[in-house]
Amino acid sequence: MNAKILMVTFLLALPPLAPAADSQWVLAQSTLTYHVSHPLHQSEGVSAAARGKGICHEGQCDFLIAVPVKSFDSGDSNRDLHMLQVTRGAEFPMVMVRTRLPETISTSTTIHADLEIQFAGETAQYKQVPFQLVTQGNETRISGTIPATLSDFKIEPPSLLTLPVKNEIPIRVEMTWRPQ
């Protein structure tokens, strides 16, 4: 074997002398709001119970956000109970969101994120969802709307007086992240 090839192979096999430090982010505060439209009324359910963590390595950050389905409050306990039944919340109690973003983003910008959402026993992919990102001090605020639909998660639209709700259930996201 050629000595140069042997040396390159040896050097590549060595661990780096100064490995890049991984950075971590924690979800400090959140408000998630879903909107349901029915021909007779509009309703929203709000949760502030999301938890999340992000781990950055080699220029990319992987984020995981989880929120209990039962934490959404529409102001009507009967509606909330029906929502839990329709979404199979007892069997699948968490909504899980995963995304990957570049580690370096300017302090005030629009980002486009690819999201993977697990909800009601199904997984849906959303490509290039726009979010506004504002960094002040050590906090980064992210806001935007996920264009979710009931059919994305194979949920039969519930009905009131034989009229079903619309398929669209946009989810407004307001989050504040901090380095850990």
The torsion angles phi and psi of 153, rounded to 5 degrees, stand at -115, 15
Annotated domain spans of the chain: 20-179
How buried is 85 (Cβ within 10 angstroms: 0-12 exposed, 13-18 middle, 19+ buried)? exposed
Mean pLDDT of 149-167: 90
Q: Please tell me the predicted confidence (pLDDT) of residue 107.
A: 64
Backbone torsion region of residue 162, taken as left when φ is above 0, otherwise alpha when ψ lies between -120 and 50, otherwise beta: left
Q: For residue range 65-120, what is the model confidence (pLDDT) as tens digits?
A: 999 999 999 999 999 999 999 999 999 999 999 999 887 766 668 999 999 999 99
Contact yes or no for 146/115 (Cβ under 8 A): yes
Q: Please tell me the predicted confidence (pLDDT) of residue 31.
A: 97
Alpha-carbon span 56 to 23, nearest angstrom = 5
Q: For residue range 121-145, what is the model confidence (pLDDT) as tens digits?
A: 999 999 999 999 998 899 999 999 9
pTM to 2 decimal places: 0.83
**Which tokens in the block code for residue 1?**
């074997």
Q: Please tell me the predicted confidence (pLDDT) of residue 159.
A: 84
Q: Which CATH superfamily is domain 20-179 in?
A: Lipid/polyisoprenoid-binding, YceI-like (2.40.128.110)
